[in-house]
Every structure is written in C-alpha cells, then in structure tokens.
C-alpha cells in the first residue's frame, strides 16, 4: 500500500493499519480530548443550536480516496461535530432521563472495543459470558432483587442494549409461555387474539414491542391511573376479566417503577397478585428508578417485585455506566430460551452441548454481542456500593431542593410527586406560559429541560442525574428560571441572592 497514509501498520511496514505506536499516540490524544471536553462541557450551550442540514453542508460530499491523518479527524470533531451536539454529559443537562457516563465506564467501553471479542456463545469468549453473569448477580445483590433473578436458580440476568429491547424480549418469552410455543411455530395467525396491559403512563417501547411481536397495538390495553398517575389494580382486574371472557389471551402486564413522564410508581405487589391469579406474565420496567434501590431507604420502590416474571433497570441511565447497558432479569429462563434459541450447525460446540454454560445469544434479539459487562464491572468496583449509593442520594436530595423551590414559587405548580430525581411542574397561567418559560430557559443555552403532559397540561420536567451535576448547577438553573419568571417576593432564590 501507499506509504502516504499511515506508517508501519500493526504488523509489517507495508500496511495502512494504525500501528501500536500510532495507537498509543492517537489514543492519548483522544483520552485528553475527552478529559478536556468534560472540563469545559459545563460552559457549552447545552442544547445544540444547529439547524437541519448544517453539518452535512460542511462535510465533503464523498469519501476520501486516500487516507487522512488522525489529527484531521480530531480537528473536525472540534470544529464540525461539537457545535452539533446536545451535551448529555453537561452538568446543566436536565432533560429526558439522564444517560450518565463516568470515567471507569468509558474506559471499560474502550477496553471492550480494544479486545474486540464476541460473547454470542460461552465458547466464543468464556470470560465475556461469565463476567456478565457474575456482575448481574452482583447487581441483584446491590439492588436486593429477589433470589429468583440470580443465576443460581431457574432464572438469571443478561445485558440488553435498552429497556425497549428488554420489554420486547419479555413479551416474546411471555408469548411463548401463553401460547405453549405456538406463537413461535405456527405464528400468531393461528392463535387466539393476544392482549397486553400497561398504564397510559408507560413508555412508548411497550407499544413498540406489542407491534413488533405481532400482537397489534389495538390489543394493548391502557389501564386507568390513580391521582398519583399509577395503575389502579381494579382497573387492570376488570380488563383482564373482560378480555378473557371475550376469548382473548392476556399475555403480559407491564408495571412501571418510575414512569418516563413523572416517575410514577405502579403498585407492583397488587398487580403481581392479579397476574398470578390470571396466569399472566408480569414485566417490571424500572429502567430509571431501579438504580434507586441501591439505597435501602428507597427500596419500597421494589415492593412486590418478587411476583414479577421479568424486570429491567438501565445502569446507563442513572448508574454511571455509559449507554448502552440495560440489565434484564427473568425468574425462569425456560420460556425465554424456548422463544429465542435457534442452533445452526456453524454455532454448535461442545460447551453448549454439555448444558453447563450460558449462551447469551439465546437471551436477546441479535446474535453478536460485545463485552458490555466490563464497563459495569469497572463502575461497581470503582465506586463501590457506598459510592453508588452516595451518587443516588445526592441527586435525590437535589430534586427535593427543586421541589421545595417549585412549591414555594407563586407562579409555579408542581404536578406530580417527587419520589426520586424528577420534578414536574407547570406555570399557573397555563400552557402558553409554561411553554414560554421552557423556551426561554433552553434558549439561554445555560440549561436544557424537556416537557411532558400531565392530565392534559403541558409540564416542564426538571430531571437530575448527569454525572457532573452538583448542587451549584441545580441552584444556577433555579436562579435562571427565577430571572425568567421575574422578581417574586416569595421566591426563596431571588435574583442576585444565591446562597
């Protein structure tokens, strides 16, 4: 190959591959770039101000014929990419739910990429599978999850990319169980109509899974919610009874511990008792909130979770492990494996045939899988249980501060309880004023907040959870909102009087 674009190569002098020496040099540059980025990210406008097409106009129309120096890529990241980013790692990011990363997680991801092993089968890299099983047992310890979810029993844990995939995989296992396999073999055209249940507050991934699995969105029953936006068990019972009477087969109920809109917590125990009575699979989606169970004083969130057939929590949301990392547990792995296990000749191997090992490809949609457990292992070991708990407690306390501020502000009304790290509120003058407040805050670039609707009212979500967020960032955000709302005698944080 040409000598113009790379040097010695990993092996041999005639290659364009990046050599180990070059990898060391460029790798340091990227590590330093990230460290620099994290040092300055709080000063960048949180929400990107790019307009549609702006980046593409600045990129070459076609790929280069010859290779380019690595420095050119890093320069373009600075000049072209950075202005087009919304900074999820900014301490001033209060939008959606957090997708928080941390040093040990990022380095675990790097190591996983550098090793480049495949964990589809135990035999394709035994440590990749065994570390995952082990760390998921550790996580079950940390969150005090039921014994049935440990690898020592009939169930166990597996890492998925997201809670969306976890919900889908749960539905596939539930469908397998409810149809005695017919859904997978003869297909749903030959089965009775299937039904799935969640509250109106559940994540959109429930409807997505219901569509993908061929159940049909018309067969997703939305359960009525109580004043606190959690499922009313009697409403669920009525739906289950009516659907069964109509000849449908109820397949799965999704209970949400910490809804996306308001962190409402469904009554898992009451729902679980109904599911047992009706023989319906219970999936508990604790994608954000499950992390709170690190702290014993917040484990009321998980009350009744021992009645669940499956459960998920996303360490990539609030447990300092960069996306993607969803921990999914089942109480019984048999229907999951029956639904997803297919063994072509080219994947047969002695270890799998022995039955002594886990092959995680049978626990997920894709076949291939990377070594995701490394980053979670690094995070748990770097922080320790004590550090992880301290992180959660800090954010919960900060959310309490925001809630108190909202409650004390005459122009604002809080629209939902604050069990965790999310405060949902509106302007008392209505949706137009709420939207104006939200837009004005986001337009400054100093914060990023997102919205939802609560009982029809537009609401602002103040969601705390970025790794870098500290008290001073939250207080600065409140001061900003105060400035926008104008002087108020009763606000505890008048302009210019920040503690």
* 208-237: contacts with a second copy (CB under 8 A): 208, 211-219
CB of 363 to a second copy, least distance (A): 12
Task: Check residue 11 for interaction with a second copy (CB under 8 A).
Answer: yes
Task: Check residue 150 for interaction with a second copy (CB under 8 A).
Answer: no
**Residue number, 289 or 307, with CB nearest to a second copy:** 289
Structure tokens at 480: 């900003």
**From 192-200, 231-239, 398-406, 474-482, span contacting a second copy (CB under 8 A):** 192-200
- Beta-carbon contacts of residue 151 (< 8 Å; ≥ 6 apart): 133, 134, 136, 137, 157, 358
38, 106 Cβ separation under 8 angstroms: no
DSSP 37: H
Of 13, 246, 297, 354, the one binding a second copy (CB under 8 A) is: 354
CB atoms within 10 A of CB 416: 24
95, 461 Cβ separation under 8 angstroms: yes
Give the DSSP H or E segment for 311: strand 310-313
* 384-443: contacts with a second copy (CB under 8 A): 384-387, 390-391
460, 449 Cβ separation under 8 angstroms: yes
Task: Check residue 263 for interaction with a second copy (CB under 8 A).
Answer: no
- Beta-carbon contacts of residue 50 (< 8 Å; ≥ 6 apart): 83, 84
Long-range CB contact pairs, 343-349, < 8 A, 24+: 347/120, 347/121, 349/121, 349/123
Cis-peptide into 497, omega within 30 deg = no
Q: Binding string to a second copy for residues 92 to 121, with x set by CB under 8 A, is what?
A: ----x--xxxxxxxxx-xxx-xxxxxx---
* 19-58: contacts with a second copy (CB under 8 A): 19-24, 26-28, 30-39, 42, 48, 50, 52-56
* 62-91: contacts with a second copy (CB under 8 A): 62-68, 70, 72-73, 77, 80-89, 91
Task: Check residue 497 for interaction with a second copy (CB under 8 A).
Answer: no
* 309-328: contacts with a second copy (CB under 8 A): 316, 322-324
**From 17-25, 264-272, 329-337, 476-484, span contacting a second copy (CB under 8 A):** 17-25
CB of 399 to a second copy, least distance (A): 17
- Residue 499's nearest CA partner among 401, 395, 400, 392 is 401
Q: Binding string to a second copy for residues 119 to 138, with x set by CB under 8 A, is what?
A: ---xxxxxxx-xx-xx---x
Q: Binding string to a second copy for residues 161 to 180, with x set by CB under 8 A, is what?
A: xx-xx--x---x--x-----
């Amino acid at each position: 190959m040409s000598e113009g674009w790379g040097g010695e190569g990993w092996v041999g002098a005639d290659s364009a591959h990046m050599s180990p020496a070059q990898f060391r040099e460029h790798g340091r540059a990227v590590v330093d770039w990230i460290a620099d980025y994290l040092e300055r990210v709080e000063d960048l406008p949180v929400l990107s101000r790019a307009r549609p097409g702006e980046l593409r106009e600045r990129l070459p129309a076609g790929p280069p014929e010859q290779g380019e120096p690595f420095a050119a890529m890093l320069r373009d990241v600075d000049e072209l990419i950075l202005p087009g980013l919304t900074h999820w790692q900014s301490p001033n990011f209060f939008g959606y739910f957090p997708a928080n990363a941390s040093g040990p997680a990022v380095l675990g991801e790097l190591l996983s990429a550098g090793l480049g092993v495949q964990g589809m089968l135990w035999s394709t890299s035994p440590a990749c599978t065994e570390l995952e099983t082990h760390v998921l047992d550790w996580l079950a310890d940390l969150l005090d999850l039921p014994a049935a979810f440990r690898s020592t029993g009939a169930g166990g844990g597996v890492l998925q990319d997201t809670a969306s995939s976890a919900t889908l995989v749960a539905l596939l296992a539930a469908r397998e169980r409810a149809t005695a396999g017919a859904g997978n073999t003869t297909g749903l055209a030959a089965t009775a109509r299937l039904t799935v249940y969640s509250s109106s507050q559940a994540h959109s991934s429930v409807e997505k899974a219901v569509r993908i699995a061929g159940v049909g969105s018309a067969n997703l029953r939305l359960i009525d919610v109580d004043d606190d936006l959690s499922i009313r068990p009697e409403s669920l019972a009525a739906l289950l009874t009516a659907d069964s009477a109509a000849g449908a087969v109820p397949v799965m109920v999704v209970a949400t511990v910490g809804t996306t809109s308001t962190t409402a917590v469904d009554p898992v125990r009451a729902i679980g008792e109904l599911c047992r009575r009706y023989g319906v699979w219970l999936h508990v989606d604790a994608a954000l909130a499950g992390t709170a169970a690190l702290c014993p004083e917040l484990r009321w969130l998980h009350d009744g979770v021992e009645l669940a057939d499956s459960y998920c929590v996303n360490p990539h949301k609030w447990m300092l492990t960069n996306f993607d990392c969803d921990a999914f547990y089942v109480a019984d792995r048999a229907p999951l494996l029956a639904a997803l296990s297919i063994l072509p000749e080219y994947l047969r191997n002695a270890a799998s045939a022995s039955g002594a090992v886990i092959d995680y490809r049978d626990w997920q949609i894709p076949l291939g899988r990377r070594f995701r457990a490394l980053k979670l292992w690094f995070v748990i070991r770097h922080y320790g249980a004590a550090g992880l708990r301290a992180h959660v407690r800090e954010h919960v306390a900060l959310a309490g501060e925001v809630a108190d501020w909202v409650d004390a502000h005459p122009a604002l009304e809080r629209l939902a309880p604050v069990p965790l790290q999310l405060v949902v509120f509106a302007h008392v003058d209505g949706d137009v004023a709420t939207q104006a407040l939200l837009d004005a805050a986001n337009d400054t670039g100093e914060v990023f907040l997102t919205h939802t609707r609560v009982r029809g009212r537009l609401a602002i979500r103040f969601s705390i959870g970025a790794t870098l967020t500290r008290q001073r960032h939250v207080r600065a955000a409140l001061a900003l909102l105060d400035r926008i709302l104008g002087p108020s005698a009763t606000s505890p944080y008048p302009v210019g009087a920040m503690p």
